[in-house]
Amino acid sequence: MNQKIKQFVNKFPLSSWSWYYWLFFYGFIPLIILIIPQLPPQIIKDYFLLNICAPALLPMFLMNYTHTELLHLTGVLSVYLVMITFVFFFEINKERIRKVSAFFFVALPLYLSIITVIYLGGIYCPVYPQMGKGFSGIASAFLGYFLYMGAIERMEEIPELLEGKGWRRGYVLIGDAIMKFLLILLLLFAAYSIGLFFDQGGSSLGNGAAHFTGLIAGILTPLVFKMYQKKKMSKFDIDVIFYVIITIFLYVLYLVRIYPV
């Protein structure tokens, strides 16, 4: 009986991850998110909150790991934990998750802050200063990573799967067209679901632009890594990049319409 249980566990996808992956993604990162709000308020204000009207380099990085409201913190941290679990379940390329996550945790925060300063600065600074904060941009990147790995990357296999089953060329082309249609629908639905701005009460605004930027980074980063590993760009890769560009263009139109800077 014990041997059968062991064989079952070994076949389970989550069992392939070494302990240090679990420690880092489920221990170290959440611990950082939970510790920062316990720091003295003045330290948080000086070093962890981004004044979007007068940005400084250190807060541009640290604000992406900072929450001051318990409800928002638990919500975003829960999303992150769910997404990283999905990533653990579907990802088989350990090198990819290491390098993609390094980009998410080190480089992406600066991009998110730049987007925040450029866009929200144009909205708020003429009226009143606003402090930027939140882990949601990075959590959105892991959502994009999961969407790419769990759905978009799988779509590339559809035409080959249909051909392997002996489908006629015309039906394969129809299947390919359906796949591309589903791809653009997935991108648009995910982008606009997570990229909408929303009132958080008082003068606080949900930063849809940062959420959107994180989502797009989460899709493109593993795609770029795949192309780098294979030293080539497939037709499907070009399709994904093209549809992502269309999604970005439409989202920019949305931004201009609701908050013309």
3-class secondary-structure state, position 199: strand
Would you give the DSSP letter of residue 64? G
Q: Domain boundaries in the chain?
A: 68-129+136-258
Q: What is the pLDDT of residue 126?
A: 59
Roughly how many angstroms between the first and final C-alpha of the chain, as a whole number?
Answer: 66
Q: State the pairing for strand pair 50-51/131-132.
A: antiparallel
CA distance 141 to 111: 12
CA distance 100 to 113: 19
Q: What is the pLDDT of residue 167?
A: 55
Q: What is the pLDDT of residue 89?
A: 87
Q: What is the pLDDT of residue 175?
A: 62
Q: Indicate the angle between helix axes 108-124 and 136-147, nearest 10 degrees.
A: 120
Q: State the pairing for strand pair 50-51/205-206.
A: unpaired
Q: What is the pLDDT of residue 231?
A: 80
Q: What is the pLDDT of residue 8?
A: 41
Number of neighbours of residue 25 by Cβ within 10 angstroms: 20
Helix (H), strand (E) counts: the chain: 14, 4
User: What residue spans of 2-44 are helical by DSSP H?
Assistant: 2-11, 19-22, 29-35, 41-43
What does the pLDDT profile of the chain (261 residues) look like in tens digits?
445 444 444 445 666 788 899 999 999 999 999 999 999 999 998 899 988 888 889 999 999 999 888 888 898 999 999 999 999 988 888 899 999 999 999 999 999 999 888 877 766 675 556 778 889 899 999 999 998 888 888 777 766 666 555 555 555 566 667 667 777 777 777 776 766 654 444 444 567 888 889 999 999 999 999 888 888 888 888 888 988 898 888 888 887 777 655
